[in-house]
Amino acid sequence: MWTRESLGQLVKEKLSRYLLVVVSNREPYVHTLAGDKITWHQPVGGLTEALDPVLRSSGGTWVAQGSGDADRKVVDAADRVAVPPDRPEYTLRRVWLTQEEVNGYYLGFANEGLWPLCHTTSVPPVFRDGDWLTYKKVNRIFADAVAQEIGGRRALVLVQDYHFALLASYIRAQNPGLTIGQFWHIPWPSFKVLRTCPWYGEILAGLLGNDLLGFHTPSYCRNFKESVEDAAVNGATAVEAFPISVDFRKISGDAAAPEVEREMDSLRREFNLEGKYVGIGMDRLDYTKGIPERLQALDRFLEDNSRYLGRVVFIQAGMPSRTQVGIYEQLDRRVDELIRGLNQKYGTASWQPVIPLMRQLTPVTLNALRRLAHFCVVSSLHDGMNLVAKEYVAARTDDDGVLILSKFTGAAEELAEAVFIDPRVIGEFAGKIKEAIEMPEEERRRRMSALRRTVAENNIYKWGASMLSRLAAIAEEK
Ligand code: GDG
């Protein structure tokens, strides 16, 4: 079983001759001003949760966009700061972008173009030439920062995600001998869908600048290889599946802490949860996560099963995200309306079926919610992996709780003992909520222990170790 220690060992044995450079849009630590004091936090999102433990084991440099209002105050003359700020283990190199650059590259091309292109939902991608030019420009800015960090050293570069489709080829143009890998955290579409992007040829060629390209599942790898074939572009990139995961041991340990139990008590009191069946949904507010569908299924469940009125409470937690993009604003409003509608339709003076918790929650509260929940709903319409599902499993040290999981998540390929749903088939989905609530204890325990074994073994350190050993092996062959 891979652990933080064994990954650290692997890094020492195989990577000590190299500087490890990770590149992502979002930084793993953000510094902000609170009055005249500087504070810091780790932002929400699967990517940071997944990669910080890897760099903390390996040391090295993480290159990312500076986004906090105190970020510039804490960097040195070369825009570097040691992190984690309270116990430095590696270097964060911040890249500064103008608002116009962020609009075109991040909000525009990455989030209004590539995100909907790669996720098959009903939201169409928007492709503006101006956004594309800015995306290329920002990929060049990051390539220059990476080159500066590396200098003349031997390095392994690990690029993250769809914000940097062109980065590997730009880095390679400056430094042909480097070993570069990239992990694409979202699905890869079929060629029929991909070619609706006017610049798909350049995107494929850019990604083929990598020595190694990772996706969560074999089916995304297949889609990519077929795209390369159908588009008749060439490259010698190894394309392989590396299913991402969570720090199972840490979450299990943290979830069992006494302060989590105190928080569970206080949530029980605050929301009157005693004696109720508690369900949770816990997502970044994104249209790919199937949140309206989940609320509709809950509505149908209550409509069909009136004996559960007053006995089930669903807590929808999670942060609004990408709020500058119009479609996200619309989603926030729709979720809000659906929740209000449900509470008006069924609520009484002493009971509301849905409790919205749309604010930044601490890890203690998140773990308390996971432990309180008889069932957790992950209803994505399409999701590269989904870490929420794995975190729920990791927190259930009591071997209890039911995971209701959309079959359109990468996680569904690993978590075989979940209760599977097609989130668009509302009647069936409602039936699965009932099934989860009524599942006999013995079956819940059998399923949860099996899920826990899977996530314990296929943890974040295994993900990091497999990608890094592949990359190191490629570097050795050069
Ligand atoms: C992308 C891919 C892939 C959520 N709400 C709060 C909060 N969270 C945390 C969760 C989890 C993370 O955010 C979300 O991770 P996901 O994997 O579910 O989803 P994306 O953000 O869409 O991530 C996804 C992932 O990349 C990794 O490759 O799995 O498929 O779409 O860790 O717990 N955390 C806090 N407050 C919240 O309100 N603190």
pLDDT in tens, 147-180: 999 998 999 999 999 999 999 999 999 999 999 9
**Is any ligand 1 atom within 6 A of the Cβ of residue 186?**
yes
Ligand 1 in contact with 387 (CB < 6 A)?
A: yes
Q: What is the pLDDT of residue 411?
A: 98
With the C-alpha atoms ordered 273, 266, 364, 287, is the resulting torsion angle positive or negative? Answer: positive
Mean pLDDT of 80-99: 97
Q: Is the Cα torsion angle 349, 354, 360, 366 positive or negative in sign? A: positive
Would you tell me how many other CB atoms lie within 10 Å of the CB of residue 289?
A: 28
Residue 333: count of CB within 10 angstroms of its CB: 10
Residue 50 confidence (pLDDT): 65
Instruction: Report the candidate in 161, 195, 210, 181 with the shortest Cα–Cα distance to residue 384.
Output: 161
Percent of the chain surpassing pLDDT 70: 99
Q: How confident is the model at residue 45 (pLDDT cuts 50, 70, 90)?
A: low
- Helix (H), strand (E), coil (C) string for 108-140: HHHHHHHHHHHCCCCCCCCCCHHHHHHHHHHHH
Q: Which long-range contacts (CB under 8 A, 24 or more apart) does 348-354 make?
A: 348/310, 350/272, 350/310, 351/272, 351/309, 351/310, 351/313, 352/313, 353/298, 353/302, 353/312, 353/313, 353/314, 354/295, 354/298, 354/313, 354/314, 354/315, 354/316
CB distance 129 to 154 below 8 Å: no
**Average predicted confidence (pLDDT) for the chain:** 95
C-alpha triplet 212, 214, 215: angle, nearest 5°: 160
Q: Is 45 in the pocket of ligand 1 (CB under 6 A)?
A: yes
CB atoms within 10 A of CB 330: 11
Biggest alpha carbon–alpha carbon distance for the chain:
70
Distance 78 CA to ligand 1 centre (A): 31
Q: What is the pLDDT of residues 344-397, one digit of tens each?
A: 999 999 999 999 998 778 899 999 999 999 999 999 999 999 999 999 999 999
Per-residue pLDDT band at 182 (split at 50, 70, 90): very high
| H, E, C per residue of the chain | CCCHHHHHHHHHHHHCCCEEEEECCCCCCEEEEECCEEEEECCCCHHHHHHHHHHHHHCCEEEEECCCCCHHHHCCCCCEEEECCCCCCEEEEEECCCHHHHHHHHHHHHHHHHHHHHCCCCCCCCCCHHHHHHHHHHHHHHHHHHHHHHCCCCEEEEEECHHHCCHHHHHHHHCCCCEEEEECCCCCCCHHHHCCCCCHHHHHHHHCCCCEEEECCHHHHHHHHHHHHHCCCCCCCEEEECCCCCCHHHHHHHHCCHHHHHHHHHHHHHHCCCCCEEEEEECCECHHHCHHHHHHHHHHHHHHCHHHCCCEEEEEECCECCCCCHHHHHHHHHHHHHHHHHHHHHCCCCCCCEEEECCCCCHHHHHHHHHHCCEEEECCCCECCCHHHHHHHHHCCCCCCEEEEECCEHHHHCCCCCEEECCCCHHHHHHHHHHHHHCCHHHHHHHHHHHHHHHHHCCHHHHHHHHHHHHHHHHHHC
Ligand 1 pocket residue status of 317, Cβ below 6 Å: yes
Distance CA 361, CA 402 (A): 22
Could you tell me the distance, in angstroms and rounded to a whole number, from the CA of residue 310 to the centre of ligand 1? 30
Quick one: which atom of ligand 1 is closest to the CA of 183? 28
Decide if 419 contacts 405 (C-beta within 8 A). Answer: yes
Name the CA radius of gyration of the chain, rounded.
22
- 385 CB within 6 A, ligand 1: yes
- Is residue 409 in contact with ligand 1, taking CB distance under 6 Å? no
pLDDT recorded at residue 52: 81
Q: Which pLDDT value is given to residue 8?
A: 80
Range in 4-13, 194-203, 432-441 with the lowest mean pLDDT? 4-13
pLDDT at 16: 84
Least confident piece of the model among 1-5, 49-53, 66-70, 108-112:
49-53
Identify the weakest region by mean pLDDT among 24-28, 50-54, 231-235: 50-54
pLDDT in tens, 295-336: 999 999 999 999 999 999 999 998 888 888 889 999 999 999
CA of 387 to the centre of ligand 1 (A): 6
Mean pLDDT of 67-71: 96
* 275 has a pLDDT exceeding 60: yes
Compute the distance from residue 383 Cα to the ligand 1 centre, in Å.
10
Q: Which atom of ligand 1 is nearest to the CA of 318?
A: 38
Burial track 242-263 (b if 16+ CB lie within 10 A, e otherwise): bbbbbbbbebbebbeeeebeeb
| The pLDDT of residue 225 | 97
The residue to mutate among 328, 360, 370, 385, having the most atoms of ligand 1 within 8 angstroms of its beta carbon, is 385
Nearest CA to ligand 1 atom 1: 46
**Region 280-301: what's the mean pLDDT?**
97
pLDDT score of 321? 86
Residue 101 pLDDT more than 90?
A: yes
What proportion of the chain, given as a percentage, has pLDDT over 90? 86
Kindly give the distance from the C-alpha atom of residue 318 to the centroid of ligand 1, in angstroms, as a whole number: 9
In angstroms, rounded to a whole number, what is the distance separating the alpha carbons of residues 240 and 183?
Answer: 10
Instruction: Decide: 282 in ligand 1 pocket, CB within 6 A.
Output: yes
At 47, the pLDDT band (50, 70, 90 cuts) reads low
Nearest to 155 by CA among 83, 241, 79, 59: 59
Q: How far apart are the C-alpha atoms of 109 and 130, rounded to whole Å?
A: 9
Q: Which two tokens stand for residue 380?
A: 């994505």
Q: How far is the CA of 324 from the centre of ligand 1 (A)?
A: 19
120, 283, 289, 381: residue to mutate for ligand 1 pocket, most atoms within 8 A of CB: 283
Q: How far is CA 447 from the centre of its chain?
A: 24
Residue 46: pLDDT over 60:
no
Report residue 49's pLDDT band, with 50, 70 and 90 as the boundaries.
low
pTM: 0.95
How many Å lie between the centroid of ligand 1 and the Cα of residue 31? 21
Does the pLDDT of residue 120 top 70, yes or no?
yes
Instruction: Tell whether the torsion through CA atoms of 200, 203, 205 and 211 is positive or negative.
Output: negative
Q: State the pLDDT at residue 478.
A: 87
Task: Report which protein residue has its CA nearest ligand 1's atom 23.
Answer: 46
Cα–ligand 1 centroid distance for 319 (angstroms): 10
Count of C-beta atoms within a 10 Å radius of residue 284: 17
Nearest atom (ligand 1) to Cα of 357: 38
Distance 94 CA to ligand 1 centre (A): 22
pLDDT at 200: 98
Picking from 42-56, 212-226, 284-298, 331-345, which range would have the lowest pLDDT averaged per residue?
Answer: 42-56
| Residue 280 in this model has a pLDDT that exceeds 80 | yes
The Å distance, Cα 282 to ligand 1 centre, comes to 9
Q: Is the pLDDT of residue 11 over 90?
A: no
Task: Please check the confidence at residue 105 and state whether its pLDDT lies above 90.
Answer: yes
Residue 142: the pLDDT is 98
Look at ligand 1, atom 6, and give the residue with the nearest C-alpha. 318
Residue nearest to atom 4 of ligand 1 (CA): 283
49 lines ligand 1 (CB under 6 A): yes
Q: For residue range 228-258, list pLDDT tens digits in order.
A: 999 999 889 999 999 999 999 999 999 999 9
CA atoms within 13 A on the CB side of 289: 24
- CB of 318 within 6 A of ligand 1: the answer is yes
Q: Compute the distance from residue 115 Cα to the ligand 1 centre, in Å.
A: 15
State the pLDDT at residue 44: 63
pLDDT at 390: 97
| Six-digit token string for 25 | 């849009």
